[in-house]
Amino acid sequence: MRRPNPVDPRLAHLLRSARLDRRGFLRSLGLGGGVLLGGGALSACGIGGGSGGEGGSGATTGTPTGTSGATGTGTQAAGGELNFSNWTLYIDVDEEDQNVRPTLQQFTEETGIAVNYFEDINANDEYFAKIRNQLDAGEDIGRDLIVLTDWMAGRLVEFGWLSEIDQTNVPNISNLRSALQDVPFDRERRLSLPWQSGMTGIGYNPEIIGREIAGVNDLFDPDLAGQVTFLSEMRDTMGLMLAAEGIDPSTHEFSQYEAAIERLREAVDSGQVRAFTGNDYAADLAAGNIGAAIAWSGDVIQSQFENPDIQFVLPAEGAMLWSDNMLIPANAQNKANAEAFMNFVYQPEIAAQIAAWVNYITPVEGAQEAIAEIDPELAENELIFPSAETLDNTFDFKVLDEEEERTYQELFQSVIGA
Amino acid sequence: MSGTGARRWLPYLLLLPGGLWLFVFFVVPMLTLASTSLQEGSLQSGYVLTWRIANYTEAVTAFREQFLRSFGYAGIATLLALVIGYPLAYVIAFRAGRWRNVLLLLVIAPFFTSFLIRTLAWKIILSDTGWVVGALKTVGVLPDNGRLLATSAAVVAGITYNFLPFMILPLYASLERIDPRYVEAAQDLYANAFTAFWRVTWPLSLPGVVAGTLLTFIPAAGDFVNVRFLGTPSQSMIGTVIDSRFLVVLDYPTAAALSFLLMLAILVLVVAYVRRAGTEELV
């Protein structure tokens, strides 16, 4: 059910590589067809700016896909509408009809709330640039629910641009995995609720490099010079660099960060690290241009469908764990509907239905049992349902305020050549 | 009376839509950008216009290398595009016969796919395990552990390819207008083929050369896509820096200052070039 239509695998890889975000792309070839080849890929990259993003996704998915004619006004949970912005290919889609999203349809049937679903988030930075003026001016951005990664969610929390979640409307919040209940940027999950999570580790092809990789330090082996890529996301790359030195990225000192930057800079100058990528690495890994890459778990699961040689390893010193979070922007028109939706997707069966399609880690307890009925093999996959020991050995990155963010990014960007 | 009055105002009326368009979508954003480039502050505390000229001087010192590299790459790519594009445009204009339209279509055909896809295609072509690298290794041009991807060569090749049609089309337009009888006349006056070309065809095609080089050089200098996919950090261009300053570092003033500096540098180069090359026929 997850296999795409046959496509030239090299092209499939390249298209996926065109995306800066970490969602798998492969399926879209079976779904979106030509439109995604053109506009979608371009917009996904963020090249051409915000308007490109809207134009591209608009062709396939940007059109609101209201699933019910129910009407109603304002913030009443019964009826009305929900304007929901999400990343592309980040919710289950009906195999027969790409315009049908079973989860959204069931939600509408159950609550009478029509969902206007927008797949217009392609990258955290880009989406932030799009919404910041309105949020800064205290205006409604026309969305009731958006999904952003931890650090960006943290920035919105810091700026006070989010609405507090009324947890009495979300009783299923009790199904949230314990490991995710307390995050540094939102201590009691008052403003955010995870949509999906994923891990950052190392993807490599043992056939090409002829050795096993156990951790990030192995990537500095001179034999691998020029065959290694790192991620251009600062927290992923630097988090692993810090962990490799035995430092906890969630509590590190700035001097330790600087030392890690210097180590990275030397590796770039000596040609050890070939490039910093979005998920282009998946294409390079499959084509044999590189032997190893810092990689996202969901991508690698998808790559393995095509090239079973590719291995994913969580570094012995620790991997990075991140989540994309559902957030309600300040001044949202249908806040209660957004809460009703959060509650809906925190039912284990619904969470299982989404996870079975998107292949990331579901934050909902009980989904593993539920997924076993859909696809027993998936329920066994450590990258989708990591064990407690695996999760114990993961880190998140320290919360940075705006000034720290700028200092950290300036250093990192100077290493990656920008 | 009223007739001549209306006539006097007609040109301005005709200019109005274009003028408004330019004002709203060019002048206003430019002013905003200019203001941003002289501001200080942060998202949280807000940005204040303090006429901080240092944004410019700091930007130049910090990113001189990327500026120089951008103009270097754009210059080489423009030159390559001219060398590749001129003969092609010449053949299409004078020798293609009934194939002319087909060939023109082929020149434009790459535009039917997105810029990104065209750039990504070069990743396949230049792949370490691909036949191009293989062939170059066999011939001995590349060492055994050599590669093309993630080098300056790949970036320049990508830029040249992506902007080549912008070179070919103006060249073709200006070559096609040349009356072949001029060349015949030159030959009647005992000019050999080369002299006829050099003394007649080339000078008459200069407007196309100027237009083509400008249309290639200007976007090439600001490009950041080719570097991202075909290069490495040590090939980063000024477009890469502006992109990351705006979106990632959230340093809007520096990003705005860099954008202005890029425009200014291009403007200076273009004015110098156009003055030298002459623009009488360049419309």
Q: Quote ipTM for the complex.
A: 0.80
- What are A177's strand-pairing partners? none
For residue B232, give the nearest of A17, A274, A406 by CB distance.
A274
> Which residues in A122-261 belong to E strands, given as ranges?
145-149, 192-204, 228-231
Cβ within 8 Å, pair A287-B128? yes
CA distances from B50 to A54, B39, B53, B55, B218 (A): 35, 5, 9, 11, 31
Domain A198-321+394-415: give its CATH code. Answer: 3.40.190.10
Amino acid found at A282: A
Please state, in angstroms and rounded to a whole number, the distance separating the CA atoms of residues B23 and B1. 32
Please state, in angstroms and rounded to a whole number, the distance separating the CA atoms of residues A397 and A107. 34
CA distances from A51 to A58, A120, A341 (A): 10, 10, 28
pLDDT tens across the length of chain A (418 residues): 344 444 455 554 554 444 433 344 433 333 333 333 333 333 333 333 333 333 333 333 333 444 433 333 334 445 799 999 999 889 998 888 888 999 999 999 999 999 999 999 988 998 999 999 999 999 999 999 999 999 999 999 999 999 999 999 999 999 999 888 988 899 899 999 999 999 999 999 998 899 999 999 999 999 999 899 999 999 999 999 999 999 999 999 999 999 999 999 999 999 899 989 886 788 888 888 899 999 988 878 777 777 889 999 999 999 999 999 999 999 999 999 999 999 999 999 999 999 888 888 999 999 999 988 888 888 888 888 898 888 889 999 999 988 999 999 999 999 998 7
CA distances from A342 to A82, A155, A167, B179 (A): 11, 21, 10, 72
CB B133 within 8 A of CB B239: no
- What are A361's strand-pairing partners? A197
Phi-psi region of A315 (alpha: psi -120 to 50; beta: other; left: phi over 0): beta
Q: Which residue has the higher pLDDT, A58 or B191?
A: B191
Please state, in angstroms and rounded to a whole number, the distance separating the CA atoms of residues A218 and B54. 43
Please state, in angstroms and rounded to a whole number, the distance separating the CA atoms of residues A89 and A36. 11
Specify the pLDDT at position B72.
96
Our CA-based measurement puts residue A418 at a distance from the nearest CA of chain B, in whole angstroms, of: 4
CA distances from B143 to A225, B133, B152 (A): 15, 10, 16
Cβ within 8 Å, pair A129-B246? yes
Chain A residues inside the 8 Å CB shell of B236:
417-418
Chain A residues inside the 8 Å CB shell of B244:
413, 418
With CA atoms as reference, the chain B residue closest to A160 would be B44
C-beta atoms surrounding B220 within 10 Å: 26
Please state, in angstroms and rounded to a whole number, the distance separating the CA atoms of residues A274 and B191. 55
A interface test, pick of B249, B251, B252, B259 with most A CB neighbours within 10 Å:
B249
Cβ within 8 Å, pair A283-B123? yes
- Kindly state which CATH superfamily the domain B58-277 is placed in: MetI-like (1.10.3720.10)
Question: Considering the entire predicted model, what is its pTM?
Answer: 0.79
| Residue pLDDT, tens place only, B71-130 | 999 999 999 999 999 999 999 999 998 999 999 999 999 889 889 889 989 988 998 888
> Which residues in chain B belong to E strands, given as ranges?
39-42, 46-49
**Mean model confidence pLDDT for chain B:** 91
Specify the pLDDT at position B281.
52
CB B36 within 8 A of CB B47: yes
CA distances from A69 to A92, A105, A113, A118, B190 (A): 22, 12, 9, 18, 83
| Residue pLDDT, tens place only, B222-253 | 999 999 889 888 899 999 999 999 989 889 99
Cβ within 8 Å, pair B129-A417? no
Transcribe A258-323 into DSSP letters: HHHHHHHHHHHHTTSEEEEESTTHHHHHHHTS-SEEEEEHHHHHHHHHH-TT-EEE--TT-EEEEE
Please state, in angstroms and rounded to a whole number, the distance separating the CA atoms of residues A332 and A75. 9
Specify the pLDDT at position B279.
58
With CA atoms as reference, the chain A residue closest to B114 would be A38
CB A272 within 8 A of CB A228: yes
- Asked if B240 reaches chain A (Cβ–Cβ under 8 Å), the answer is yes
Chain B residues inside the 8 Å CB shell of A14:
117, 120-121, 123-124
Selection from B264, B274, B147, B175 nearest residue B215 by Cα: B274
- What are B277's strand-pairing partners? none
> Which CATH architecture does the domain made up of A9-191+328-346 adopt?
3-Layer(aba) Sandwich (3.40)
Specify the pLDDT at position A320.
95
Please state, in angstroms and rounded to a whole number, the distance separating the CA atoms of residues A44 and A17. 10
What residues have CB less than 8 Å from B193, skipping those under 6 apart?
Answer: B187
Domain positions in chain A = 9-191+328-346, 198-321+394-415
Enter the tokens of residue A254: 């700035």
- Residue the block writes with tokens 């640039």: A129
Selection from B218, B231, B238 nearest residue B78 by Cα: B218
> Is a pLDDT exceeding 80 seen at residue B282?
no
Cβ within 8 Å, pair B233-A415? yes
Enter the tokens of residue B68: 């120089």
Please state, in angstroms and rounded to a whole number, the distance separating the CA atoms of residues B257 and B186. 52
Dihedral angle at the C-alpha atoms of A21, A26, A31, A32, nearest 10 degrees? 50
Enter the tokens of residue A55: 């134009």
What residues have CB less than 8 Å from B179, skipping those under 6 apart?
Answer: none
